[in-house]
Chains A and B, each alone.
Chain A
Amino acid sequence: MRFALVGQPNCGKSTLFNQVAGYKAATGNFSGTTVTFTGTKVHVQGNVVELVDLPGTYSLLGTNPAERVVLDYLVGNNVDAIINVVDATHLAQGLALTLELLELKRPVVLAVNMMDEAARQGIHIDGEKLGEILKIPVLPIIATKGQGVRRVFSTAYENGKNNQDAQRQKYSPELEEQIRRIQGLVNSVRLPIGSEALALKLLEGDPPLTEQVSHKIPNIESEVQKAVDKLCHITGRQAIWLVSKERHDLALSIFEQVYKKTGKKRLLRERLDDYLLHPFWGYIFLVGILFLFFWIVNKIGGVIEAPLNQLSNYLDAELMNSLADKGLLAQILSGALQGFMGGLAIALPYLVPFLIGLGFLEDVGYLPRVAFLMDTLMHHMGLHGKAVVPFILGYGCNVSSIMSTRIMEDKRDRYLSSLLSSMVPCSARMAIIFGLVAFYLGPVYGIGLYILNIVVIALTGHIISHFIPEESPGLILEMPVYRIPTLRTVTAKAWLRIREFIVDAWPILIVGSVILAVMNFYNLADITDSIFRPITWLLGLPSQVGTPLIFGILRKELSLIMLGQALGSMEFNSVLTSTQMLTYTVFVIFYIPCLATLIAIRKELGTKAMLSITGITLLVAVITAFLTHLIATPLLG
């Protein structure tokens, strides 16, 4: 048996999903956190059920790639029960989608989420009455706390087993007539959705679906056009508007029958937004919040890094002493030790507080507020406020930022935001900024690099958008309410990425260090160094950094861990000048996205986009690092 979770953006589908699946799907308090579907197996009443978490969507129209996924999934796959999650505080809008789901003629269970938040706002919803009107089970849940979740699944299971298909509500007679007419034509088409739903989708004019049906019924397009013309003649509206309007009005009238609000107090959200979205204070808070965030990460990380670094160097010296006569073996062991300690001492101390902090900001709902404040600045880069989401996610991991560009409607916007957000220093590069520059030169330089990074990205965007002008209409984004993150979701989210580091990245760091040790032993590193020689020469860097840079494309952390090894010391200030540390880090921040990011770009936007992004980022890196070298040399020496 298979269940699908469907609902509007930010209604808590993924939170519900994670309640039963463990932490598998990314969650955050903004629209479009889920851009593709995630599946898991759950046990319901002793049976194994496949549960699919679909991206949030306002309707089944598929206006952007993430929303397209939902319609394609429901049309292409047999789903035994649909679990429709609605946000109790936004019930009226949620019901419009519910009505659309009822059209599909599959068993539907309505889970009304965020009952606690609704109660706080004085909202009362008569679930029983709602169930009577819609003729489907309506169950209250609080997904963040797991309340009511079990009942939703057992009800979905019962209904799915008994094939209790939902019945849709009736629309206006004119519309019903055309639905029946089209339905008669497409009766022979066998799809997992009913012929009525198919007729409605065709009337709304879904291009891929029309195309699919026209293979079987060649004249379908002209027949649908006739129906659309007829409706337009009677009602004066395009069918697509008519259908939406009827669903919307119906949803509103149902909503009014079941909704009661007691006491209208000024919401905390409005009071908070008065400050956080203030034309002046809003920006002060923005800078303050980000500054505080990085300051805390830097403080915590620095305290842990220093003693671990000493330990690492001590262990390495001991190892070398006791195995001095063993040659290659000593080198390999020392390489493995440096890879291991590098991950422990340099990457993890910053990664953990950083991810927890980022998870907190995501869950509170601050990111869409940043989008609101930054829209104007983003237009100077040829993008709009929505691109703030991939940018901020990029500080965690560039792969998730590439995936999140799916929330943008326009292909050109997706390309540009992918290019620019891949230059945002992810948590791996953050470790380099903090572990190398902030640690040896001082935190001011670390923050300076972040500011430099933003300036360079803005400039690049500005220049690129001259060649590919902005066409998309701009920002449309829903502003969520503030939510207090639960410790569990924040730590679970951080753990998801930390585990990824421990399982995927750390072994690569160790293996990479061992490979470099072997290469050093046989003097092979010279060959790989020579690939980057023109660049390292230009930037005034020692030629040995070429190999860490090449391996850095695999995993960005390698360009730090292997750096210590290539230069023969983890005490970087003894082997590199301040300028060199700065130049190297600037180069590492911008040059070529890591392999995983490149693969993601290729999957999302194609090989051409991947290659051009590789080229552009390399060029940006060389220019920026060269300028850093020129400017820093007389100042820092």
Chain B
Amino acid sequence: MQRYFMQIGFLPGNTARVIRTAPFHGPLLVEVDGREIVLGRNVARHVLVEEIE
């Protein structure tokens, strides 16, 4: 899991932006490092973020 996050650019200090979400409590589309990643809710729950802007 850790390794997986690392691979797709979820590294300490990186910024991410939620672009859109799917309905019915569906996954999030997140932009990290200029790349769009789909994250299921259960996965996204594991990402610790700090709000900016």
Contacts and interface: CB of A to CB of B under 8 A. Distances in A.
Interface in B5-26: 6-9, 11-14, 20, 22-26
Contact of B8 (A277, A474, A476): A476
A477 B44 CA distance: 12
A473 B46 CA distance: 9
A59 B25 CA distance: 31
Contacts, number: 106
Interface string A452-482: 0000000000000000000001111111000
A384 B41 CA distance: 10
Contacts of B46: 473
B11 A245 contact: yes
Interface stretch (A108-116, A369-377, A432-440): A369-377
Nearest to A87: B35
Nearest to A371: B38
Contacts of B29: 277, 372, 479
Interface string B25-53: 11101000111111111110010000000
A61 B3 CA distance: 7
A113 to B, nearest CB: 15
A375 B7 contact: no
Given A244-B6, A473-B46, A279 B37 contact: no
Nearest to A62: B3
A24 interface: no
B38 A385 contact: yes
Contacts of B22: 277, 279, 282, 372-373, 375-376
A165 interface: no
Given A273-B20, A475-B27, A63 B42 contact: no
A240 interface: yes
A486 to B, nearest CB: 23
B4 A63 contact: yes
A277 B33 contact: no
A450 interface: no
Contacts of A385: 27, 38, 40
A368 interface: yes
Interface residues of A, number: 36
Interface in A333-386: 368, 371-373, 375-376, 379, 384-385
A530 B13 CA distance: 68
Contacts of B6: 59, 61, 240-241, 244
Nearest to A283: B23
Contacts of A93: 9, 33-35
B2 to A, nearest CB: 7
Contacts of A474: 27, 39-43
Contacts of B25: 376
A63 B38 contact: no
Contact of A409 (B4, B11, B24, B37): B4
Contacts of A412: none
A92 interface: yes
A273 B38 CA distance: 13
Contact of A473 (B33, B34, B42): B42
Contacts of B33: 90, 92-93, 252
B26 A375 contact: yes
B40 A245 contact: no
A58 interface: yes
A248 interface: yes
A475 B3 contact: no
Interface in A9-57: none
The residue in B9, B37, B38, B46 that gathers the most chain A C-beta atoms within 10 A of its C-beta is B38
The residue in B8, B22, B23 that gathers the most chain A C-beta atoms within 10 A of its C-beta is B22
Contacts of B26: 372-373, 375-376
A63 B7 contact: yes
A379 B42 CA distance: 11
Interface in A248-273: 248, 252, 273
Nearest to B2: A240
Interface string A517-554: 00000000000000000000000000000000000000
Contact of A479 (B4, B38, B43): B38
A383 to B, nearest CB: 11
A477 B37 contact: yes
B12 A476 contact: no
B7 A245 contact: no
Nearest to A273: B20
Contacts of B1: 473
B38 A372 contact: yes
Contacts of B24: 376
11 contacts: A58-B8, A90-B34, A93-B34, A240-B2, A244-B11, A245-B12, A372-B26, A375-B27, A473-B43, A476-B38, A476-B40
Given A375-B26, A376-B23, 5 more contacts: A61-B6, A93-B9, A93-B35, A477-B37, A478-B38
Interface of B: 1-4, 6-9, 11-14, 20, 22-27, 29, 33-43, 46
Closest 10 CB pairs of A and B: A474-B40, A475-B40, A58-B7, A479-B36, A279-B23, A474-B42, A376-B24, A244-B6, A477-B38, A375-B27
